Structure 1
Amino acid sequence: MLVSLEWLQQYVDLSGLTPEELAEKVTRTGIEVEGVRHLDDGVKEVVVGYVQACEPHPNADHLNKCTVDIGGTEPVQIICGAPNVAQGQRVAVAKVGAKLPGGVKIKRAKLRGEVSEGMICSLQELGVDGKVVPKDVEEGIYVFPESAQIGEDALAILGLRDTVIELGLTPNRSDCLSMMGVAYEVGAIVNRSIDLPTPTQTDVATGEFAGKHITVTVDATEDNPLYVAKLVRNVTIGPSPLWLQNRLRAAGIRPHNNIVDITNYVLLEYGQPLHAFDYDRFGSKQILVRRANDGEEIVTLDDEKRTLTGEHLVITNGTEPVAVAGVMGGANSEVTAETTTVLLESALFAGGPIRAASKALGLRSEASSRFEKGVDPNRVEEAAERAAQLMVELAGGEVLEGSVIEDHRTDEPRVITVPADKVNRVLGTEISPSDMVALLERLQLPTEASEGTLTVKAPTRRGDLVIEEDVIEEIGRLYGYDNFSYTLPRGEATPGGLTPYQKKRRLVKRAMEEAGLTEAITYSLTSEKLATAFALQQAETTKLSLPMSEERKVLRQSLLPGLLEVAQYNIARSQHNVALYEIGRVFLQEKAGQLPTETERLAVLITGKWTSHDWQAEVKETDFYVAKGLVTHVFAQLGISREVRFEQGKVEGFHPGRTAQILLGSEVIGTIGQLHPSEEAARDLKATYVAEVDLETLLNADLSSLGYEPIPRYPAVTRDVALVVDESVSAGTLRTIIEKTGGKLLEAVYLFDLYDGEHMEKGKKSIAFSLTYLNRDRTLTDEEVTKAHEAIVSAVKEQTDATVRGA
């Protein structure tokens, strides 16, 4: 809700308060002020000028040379390109030295050889939002009425010396969707009386009753409990007076003509939506409110044909729809320049049907937003009278006597009782019952206190006041949250802490960031094509019923497509060295139609040159072993390096010779390797290495906890062995055999050489390991080491047909 303080000042005295101070007070009492905008911010030295002469520029086809009286001793020459500039107009002129929004400063200049001493301004150039500029001056300058005085402050005439505050209203505070509602609120906050307008009726056409010319029938009484119709004849359609246009623009509404502007003005003033029909184009003397027929059509005011259903409430002339109730009128009965008789509608519509129609038709209007949240049922008739009064004053109309009303309201007055001691108990205060009454009556809530109990009569404008707690909240926020005493919470306190899973998860994040990787957070939604790409396990895809786009319609089954998109984005912007990790969820659906299972994964991506910030080691170009080292670093931090192994494998989307599966025991928990060259080419990537690990399986596994051992007191013994094996035998297989056979004395195994050169038999390769033996309780003997080493060599020979190189 945009609130003009100049308008609000008519209802409540704001003297002594700056806009910022008022905004702070309003925010502290429960309604957030989202912004304070001074409409003249950055604008000065703009006056009303009179165009004495206007002729085409001698050297430019689309420019005009104007002589303009700006109230000084001599007229000035201004070059203007507006298509609608003409002699005899009163216009807004930025004088030499003036400032306009955006830091524009007006200087004396030459345009195509002609001097220009100022600028004739459009509303947009003065800072007015283009969407609220009247359509007839949307592409040109604004022309003032004859009453504007030459040399007068143009900003003041245009209402731009005003300040607008924007209220961020929650749905329950629909009462503040009107200037009168805001006046009630602000009057209570600053503790000042309010003076609201009271409609008066003038120039009634004696002897002419509205009921002779129109009837109202409501079939859908639950959807439309109250309908009020009035007739105003002999109106003259024209522009609204400037003060009315200024009010609408400040509230974010475009002025149209005096009749339409009056309905919008009363909507803003009372919070009651109105609609004006052209009576002569209405098509009958009958108003029938009903549910639409399935397939029924209407062309709305935006010139769009819309197909209706039985869920939509419509206003008809007895046969065809003339408006979608509470949302938008029809083009077949709109007010035009030829309208002379206005049929004015003021009604109470239930929020549900209005919300459904607004959503289904893709139409959201100022009217629908208010009906959805609820309007004051006791101000429907008063708002109609107020609009009729303004049509008499501003359009020269005559109001036919009486209103045609169909009333099916059944709501009873709401009376809320609340014990005063409960108020203090809930708020932690010591407010007396008399002070509670005073606070509530500042909000114009009739209240009595008797025997320690408050009895509050909730007015119909405050539909949010229903239960005791609502009254307590009103007392608390007006009393002032800053006046509450500070107390500690009572009750049992239990220390918080991380679960074992959360602790391990933090270790993983720390390990990734220690290694120099940057965390990425990507979309959980992807396209159907990418949903199953690189997935560790295939499952049914989970599709959204109402996706935002084709690229975001399916829940992901792998984190890697998202990381690849991030890599592409960075590389396209010349960031060629990318090192990323992500911890996120994937969604696996066992059967179509079921909710998916959410599983947490760790994904890694590196490409280009890579540097570890903590390890102080630089890799010229990323390769498989860098990626493996990063993943192994995570396993080391978790203390499970020995339980995890890597086996060469072939996985779709990965390079066939540079890919491995990650196993925990016998279970595959991840994949690591280079992206397949075809995948890299499709994404315009160079050598890119990725890994994805099932983090939940890893962290929930029954593994020994991370521990620390003292530095050994006794020396270790190292023996090297080079094994000649078939090319099909992997280093991982040999390492597994060595570790199983080595027993307690084998402390560590390191692979340090691979050879398959010209001196090696065809189909064979040599793999060399360094084995470290250690007894932490005493010094090892040569006999013990030799026995353990020979056992290992014997086991390797037996299980892989290996031979010891050089033996």
Structure 2
Amino acid sequence: MLASLKFVEKFISLPKVTKNININGIPTAISSYDIEKINPLLTRQGFEVDSVIKKGEGLETVVVGRIEKTEPHPNASKLQICQVNVGNNIINQIICGAKNARQGLYVAVALPSTKLPNNLEIKSSKIRDIESNGMLCSREELGLPIKADTDGDGIWEIEEDSQGGVSSSVLIHQLGKPIFEVLGISDTILELSVTPNRPDMLCHEGVSKELKAAFTYANIPFKLNEDNSYSNKISITEEKIKNDAINHSSVNCAGISFSAENHLGTPAFFMLIDSTQVKPSPAWLRILLENLGQNSINNIVDASNYILLAHGQPSHAFDLEKLSSQDPKSKKLILRKAKQGEKFTGLDGKERELNDTDEIISDIEGTQGLLGVLGGEHSKVTETTKKIVVEFANPNPVSVRRSSRRHARQTDASFMFEKGIDASARYQAAAEYLGLISSEQSIKPIYCGTVHSQNLNKKPEIKTEFPKIEIEFNSLAQEKILGAHIIDFDKQLNILKSLGFELSSIASQAFKVTVPSWRSHDIVGEADLVEEFIRVVGIDNVPSTPMISPTNVSYDDPHYKYLEKISARCTSLGYNEVISLHFMRTDDYEKLGLKSILSLGEPVALLNPIIGDEPLLHNTLIPDLLRKVTRNLGYGTKSGQLFHSCRTFQNYDVSGKRVFVQNGESIGLQKEFNQKIEDNLEYHYSQGYAYSREKTQEGRPVETPRLAGVVFGNKTEKTWQNSSETNWSLHDIIAHVTDLVTSLGSEISVVKISDTIDNSTECKFHPFAKALHPGRRVGFYILDENNQSISLGWAGELHPKTMRNYDIDVSCFVFEINIAVLIRSLSKPKNVKRRVAITQRFPTISRDFAFLIDDSVTAKELNEVVIKSLEPLIINETPALIQAVNIFDIYKGKNIAENKKSVAFHISLEPTERTFNDKDIQKITNTVIKAVTSELRGELRG
């Protein structure tokens, strides 16, 4: 928010400081705003001053002058010798090369010792042997916007410049005085950081209200400038406009009947004015807009901008006679949804294609304005305009924001509507608008009347009742909320009064506080009132108090506890969590080797991406993790474990309807997005959520919580304890994912995956398989609530090509799982096995065996044979629990035949009914030997 202190002073006087400047050898007092007092107060109350711009600072020695005489330079045909009156009967001889320098011209003179904005320092010097004492300046040289029609061929012609607007009869008495002061250009502009909950601070009246409270508490003298309203200069009052808006559905304006239809349910009224004189705005208004970075258009348009900057009330004026209609004596504006593909040319001259979610104002032929965002070229106010219709609508902030972002056009009006306007002040804004244009015209415009818009049932679509928020506030609130006594209760009440709150006593030390309309967006309870006075006092006066009572966390998101638990488990497995923005690049799909950009579901494209080369909302977390691996490697970290738990997004709602029809058009991806989407397994939109507090999730992009992890480099490094480093393996990643899923009480199955579709039951297709090493990639499957096996995620080692694409030169394993699928599986009824721990009563027996067996026999086969052989024995003869069957040695080499190996394993059993004797132990030993020798052709060693 840019705040002009000169503008703020229209509402409240501000403290000033004075400094003396030497002009033509005479000390001259120059006053400026005391920002050393103002800025700390605004910052303390929550509005940081990001920068300060002082218009005219350092240019006090640029003064008003008049050329008394000119003559050609004897040594240069393109130069003139000008005798310039710079005040106090002082004539400076100045050499000038501007073609428009002439006798009698009032000019801006930079006296010697002046340093211009382009760092040129003016000194007395000789130009082609002729002495020159100063410089005649153009607007550009003084850092002012260039105006071709007023700058002429060179120097600034002050009297003729419509920006100055000061006649010669005035300028003759201002010779030698600082030109920025004479023309009213001097100003101090503050760039304020305004929090989203304070839209009232996006206008100068709002800033003045905050400063009023600050000055009151800080005992800084000030006075309110009551005579700042233009509406008190005309007979048309706010109440008159409001009554007309309530009672009239049509009005006759100089022979033209006007009405308005409303198909949007948006409150709106329209004021009609005849006999307008469209001309350049007065100097003070143009200078004000220019200082705040805006262009002056004409007095009608500038009046709208003034009301917006002054009071935070947007409006838009249409040329009534330019509106299309079947009958030229009957005009109509319609608030409606745009038609898909409808064209609209805005005031910026750009043609836009609308879609059916845009809200517009139209006549019977086409769009005349993008509601709350931008007016139309066709019906704009020009010099020929005589009759205008001024729109005061309250569009839906969400609709305004969507249209503004979609069409890449954010205006001051759209920004105000997005944040929230004070709807109760709309009628006063209309009166102010009428008063402003009336006060600046020699022939007073004629107020024709005001009409409401009508809905499809012919009922008024207008808002006239504004309920007040009332809060009970007592002297105990401070201690209860802040935990300390900061200021007395009467001082609290005085601060609230100074901020515009109304107070009425309801009991001893208790008041009913009525919230002002401009604060109805963020003040709802007692704690907010405490925050109000503590902002003014200073939050640094609140003592630090430790919390001594236990607190219970209440999760807004019911899934949050699962996300927290699985993230904590990930951390316990050695992973470090990363936090990133939700964006990805368009070439990430190509780098991963995926079949198409739609392989993982259609991403959402951003119209105005924060990061230029990342225009998509991510639908997978892998690319961002891989870039972080690359960055770690670049910083010398050659191994590590990273994970990211985050939402991903798709351009489909939960019912399978595309949300943004023009998605990706601005970055050339519309053609790709229009392709048919393949089966996306856990990346399909049906496997996510649409997080929303609204009643329906239709029309909102699916947001799917995912967990992704990456391990890179070595699992353990070579140290004095380890003779060599240990590498990560696919089995490590499978174990990690299994552990994560088990920690939430679910189970998964592991299946090989492929990047081609076939009918094999042992290998399933997955789009991400293309990015992984062909022999080291698996998919994870889980049973859903219907006992159907669905894809949960995948894991694998990166393909060498993928690693090259991301500049990774060490071994790298990755995984990604869909948390939404996992959480859904938790609701499925499970067969829970009850396990009872019994204290061991009998001593465990254990035996070691060593067999010579075929090299092809696996550990799994050996384990199964041993356990299967013992089961009948321990059930019928020697009741026991098998505690372990562990292989502890495998040997191949000297004295071992080819295709054979020596395997030593250990078994242990826990008796359950009696202590085993030697006979029992021998039965167990014989059973194991017999099973291994007969079924695996093993030979007992030793």
Alignment of 1:155-166 (within 5 A): 159=185, 162-166=188-192
Distance 1:799 1:34, change over 3 A: farther
Indicate if the aligned counterparts of 1:90 and 1:145 stay in contact, CA closer than 8 A: yes
1:273 aligns with 2:317: no
Q: Does 1:379 find its partner at 2:423? A: no
Give the match for residue 27 of structure 2. Answer: none
Selected match of 1:36 from 50, 56, 68: 50
Distance in 2 between residues matched to 1:448 and 1:518, nearest whole Å: 53
Is 1:399 aligned to residue 461 of structure 2?
Answer: no
1:487, 1:198 → 2: CA distance? 47
Matched length: 738
> 1:580–1:604: 8 Å Cα contact kept in structure 2?
yes
Q: 1:752 to 1:650 in 2, by over 3 A?
A: farther
8 Å contact kept, 2:749–2:781: yes
Q: Distance in 1 between matches of 2:867 and 2:117?
A: 79
Indicate the SS of the match to 2:643: strand
Displacement of 1:195 in angstroms is: 1.2
Alignment of structure 1 residues 252-271 onto 2, 5 Å = 252-257=293-298, 259-271=300-312
Per-residue deviation at 1:38?
1.4
Question: 1:164: Cα distance to partner?
Answer: 0.6
User: Shift of the alpha carbon at 1:177?
Assistant: 3.1
Give the counterpart letter for 2:433 in structure 1: A
Distance 1:599 1:704 in 2: 32
Superposition pairs for residues 327-406 of structure 1, below 5 Å? 327-336=373-382, 339=383, 341-352=385-396, 355=399, 359=403, 362=407, 363-371=409-417, 373-374=420-421, 375=423, 376-389=425-438, 391-392=440-441, 397-406=442-451
Could you tell me which residue of structure 1 aligns to residue 571 of structure 2?
509
Residue 300 to residue 787, structure 1, CA distance change in 2 (3 Å): same
Separation (CA, whole Å) in 2 of partners of 1:522 and 1:704: 45
Alpha-carbon distance in 1 for matches of 2:563, 2:415: 46
Distance in 2 between residues matched to 1:552 and 1:731, nearest whole Å: 49
| 1:443 aligned onto 2:499 | yes
User: SS where residue 445 of structure 2 aligns?
Assistant: strand
Quick one: which amino acid aligns to residue 361 of structure 2?
A: V
**How far apart are the structure 2 equivalents of 1:803 and 1:577?**
47
**Which residue of 2 is the match for residue 688 of structure 1?**
811
Distance in 1 of aligned mates of 2:833 and 2:232: 86
Alpha-carbon deviations, 1:252-288, whole Å to 9, x = none?
4334455533431232113233444557756767653
Which of 175, 194, 200 aligns to 2:224? It is 194
Residue 855 of structure 2 aligns with an amino acid whose one-letter code is V
Using a 3 Å threshold, how does the CA distance of structure 1 residues 6 and 305 change in structure 2: closer, same or farther? Answer: same
1:480–1:800 distance in 2 versus 1, CA, 3 Å: farther
Check the 8 A contact 2:578/2:643 in 1, yes or no. yes
Which residue is equivalent to 2:261? 220
Distance 1:596 1:637, change over 3 A: closer
Under a length normalisation based on structure 1, what TM-score does the superposition of the two structures give?
0.64
For the Cα contact (< 8 Å) 2:852–2:900, is it kept in 1? no
Tell me the SS of whatever aligns to 1:162: strand
- The 3 A distance-change label for structure 1 pair 212 and 545 is closer
Out of 446, 464, 468, the position equivalent to 1:411 is: 464
Match runs of 1:165-176 below 5 Å: 165-170=191-196, 173-176=198-201
Instruction: Check whether the contact 2:108–2:136 (CA below 8 A) recurs between aligned residues.
Output: yes
What amino acid sits opposite 2:642 in the alignment?
Answer: Y
Deviation by residue 1:403-442 (Cα, 9 ceiling, x = unmatched):
5323676624756655554884896679999767644442
Calculate the aligned-residue CA RMSD, in Å.
Answer: 7.1
Q: Are the structure 2 counterparts of residues 313 and 567 from structure 1 closer, same or farther at C-alpha, using a change threshold of 3 Å? A: closer
Find the aligned partners of 1:184 and 1:401 in 2 and give their Cα distance.
Answer: 33
Alignment-derived partner of residue 59 in structure 1: none
* SS at 1:351 equivalent: coil
1: CA distance, partners of 2:834 / 2:741: 9
Distance 1:492-1:526 versus aligned 2 partners, 3 A rule: same
Relative to structure 1, is the Cα distance of residues 354 and 121 closer, same or farther in structure 2, using a 3 angstrom cutoff?
Answer: farther
1:502–1:421 distance in 2 versus 1, CA, 3 Å: closer
Task: Report the equivalent of 2:642.
Answer: 581
Question: Which residue does 2:5 correspond to in 1?
Answer: 5
Contact 2:256 2:329 in 1 (8 A): yes
State the partner residue of 1:184: 209
1:1-41 CA deviation, whole Å, 9 max, x = no partner?
32222321342233279546545544554xx3243311149
Contact residue 672 and residue 690 of structure 1 kept, 8 A: yes
CA distance in 2, matches of 1:218, 1:149: 55
1:145 to 158, 168, 180: 158
Matches within 5 A, 1:521-670: 552=616, 555-556=619-620, 563-564=625-626, 566-567=628-629, 577=638, 579-582=640-643, 584=645, 594-596=686-688, 603-607=709-713, 612=717, 623=727, 653=769, 654-655=772-773
Question: Which residue identity does 2:206 align to in structure 1?
Answer: G
Structure 1 residues 249, 235: CA separation in 2 closer, same or farther (over 3 Å shift)? closer
- Checking the alignment, whether the CA contact within 8 Å between 1:724 and 1:803 is kept in structure 2 is no
d(CA) in 2 for partners of 1:78, 1:34: 45
Which residue of structure 2 lines up, in the alignment, with residue 725 of structure 1?
855
Over residues 164-215 of structure 1, what are the superposed CA-to-partner deviations in whole Å (9 max), with x where a residue is unaligned? 14141435x44333212322232133225421413279899xxxxx976365
Question: For residues 772-791 of structure 1, what are the structure 2 equivalents within 5 Å?
Answer: none
CA spacing shift, 1:182–1:581, aligned 2, 3 Å: closer
> How many angstroms apart in 2 are the aligned matches of 1:371 and 1:638?
46
Which amino acid in structure 2 is aligned with residue 605 of structure 1?
Answer: V
CA 264–519 in structure 1, closer or farther in 2 if over 3 Å, else same: closer
Amino acid at match of 2:211: V
* 1:581 counterpart SS class: strand
Cα 1:370–1:554, aligned 2, differ >3 Å: closer, same or farther?
Answer: closer
Contact 2:707/2:817 (<8 A) preserved: yes
Paired with 1:680 and 1:249, the residues of 2 have a C-alpha distance of 54
TM-aligned CA distance change 1:637 to 1:162, over 3 Å: closer
Structure 1 stretch 498-507 or stretch 180-189: which is displaced more? 498-507
Structure 2: distance between partners of 1:662 and 1:582 = 18
Compute the displacement of 1:388 (Å): 0.9
C-alpha contact (below 8 Å) 2:122/2:135 kept by paired residues: no
Secondary structure of the residue aligned to 1:248 is helix
Gap regions ≥5 residues in structure 2: 17-32, 73-77, 124-132, 160-170, 217-221, 236-250, 453-459, 649-679, 690-703, 756-768, 783-788, 836-845, 871-880, 911-918
User: Closer, same or farther in 2 for the Cα pair 1:424/1:735, shift >3 Å?
Assistant: same
Q: Deviations over 1:354-394 (max 9, x none)?
A: 945972773542224435523413313332234214533xx
Give the aligned partner of residue 713 of structure 1.
none
Residue by residue, what CA displacement relative to the aligned partner does 1:576-597 show, whole Å, maximum 9, x if unpaired?
9454432537999789764538
- Structure 1 residues 659 and 553: CA distance shift in structure 2, 3 A: closer
Q: What TM-score results when the alignment is normalised by the length of structure 2?
A: 0.57
Q: Structure 1 residues 127 and 623 mapped into 2: Cα distance closer, same or farther (>3 Å)?
A: farther
Amino acid in the other structure paired with 2:413: A
- Aligned counterparts of 1:647 and 1:753: Cα–Cα separation in 2: 31
From 221, 230, 234, the counterpart of 2:273: 230
Question: Structure 1, residues 452-478: CA drift from partner, whole Å, max 9, x if none?
Answer: 575667665555499775994686457
Query: Which residues of structure 1 form unaligned runs of 5+?
Result: 56-63, 109-116, 205-209, 706-715, 777-782
